[in-house]
Amino acid sequence: MREIEAAGFLFDMDGTLVDSTPVVEAVWSEFCERNGLDPVALLAYAHGRQAADTIAHFLPALGRAERDRLARDLVAQELTRTEGIVEIPGAGAVTRGLLADGAPVAVVTSAPRELAVVRLRAANIPVPEVLVAAEDVERGKPDPQGYLLAARRLGVPIADCVVFEDAEAGLLAAVASGARVVVVGGHASATTASLPRLADYTASLALAPKGT
């Protein structure tokens, strides 16, 4: 049994708790087709980032108002498309167990709050009281602001928290926050070289609030 003990548990959403790959790939691929962009390059960059930041990167000539409008349009499409959204194996049981034990749990996502709630519910993942979404921060991942805010809202020092992340932008944010970091899934880079890893949450794993 592998045990991870922490004072607070911070989870990214897409790719860490929820697999929304079919929806994300379909919506962004359609966006790329309309705007003459390479979907492979865009999807590789977009994972873990706010939609407006991705649009700014690939369509830098657009003004902020237009970028924000396009991002809202993308989110509106995603809100109505939940088919194929499932949990990362074992994620529901792990989060429900932590919440039942009274552990401090937060979700920190680059998605807007409404979309995050829709996806968590579609995957049968409990929505924790602390959910830091795109509109809660001025700077999205890879900036650590979201994880630092989540720890403050939980009332737990970030150094005593463990973050579960799957994408490069989120991993950079988590490492920069000062938390302990666990990689979920197969992403590999210089950032992940020294970090512990879980394929998913179905292995012999116990997450325990510190001091229990």
CATH code of 30's domain: 1.10.150
The dihedral region occupied by 47, where left means phi > 0, alpha psi between -120 and 50, and beta the remainder, is beta
Cα 132 to Cα 24, 88, 135, distances in angstroms = 20, 20, 8
Active site annotation includes 160: no
Per the listing, tokens 């429900």 go with 96
* Amino acid identity, position 18: V
Tell me which of 12, 19, 53, 166 is the catalytic residue: 12
Residues 123 and 136 grouped into a single domain: yes
Residues 33 and 105 grouped into a single domain: no
Chain centre distance of CA 161: 16
Residues 49 and 127 grouped into a single domain: no
Please write the tens of the pLDDT for every residue from 75-126.
899 898 888 999 999 999 999 999 999 999 999 999 999 999 999 999 999 9
**pTM (two decimals):** 0.88
Cα 201 to Cα 114, 143, 161, 211, distances in angstroms = 25, 26, 18, 22
Residues 97 and 202 grouped into a single domain: yes
Please write the tens of the pLDDT for every residue from 168-187.
999 999 999 999 999 999 99
- Residue 76: CB atoms within 10 Å: 11
Helix (H) or strand (E) holding 55: helix 51-58
Reply yes or no on whether the pLDDT at 204 is more than 80.
Answer: no
CATH code of 173's domain: 3.40.50.1000
Tell me which of 14, 19, 53, 166 is the catalytic residue: 14
Residues 30 and 124 grouped into a single domain: no
Q: Are 170 and 179 in contact (CB under 8 A)?
A: no
Active site annotation includes 14: yes
Among candidates 125, 120, 121, 209, which has minimal Cα distance to 161? Answer: 209
* Overall number of domains in the chain: 2
Q: Please say which residue of 30, 48, 79 terminates a domain.
A: 79
Identify the domain containing residue 39 by its residue range.
21-79
Residues 162 and 202 grouped into a single domain: yes
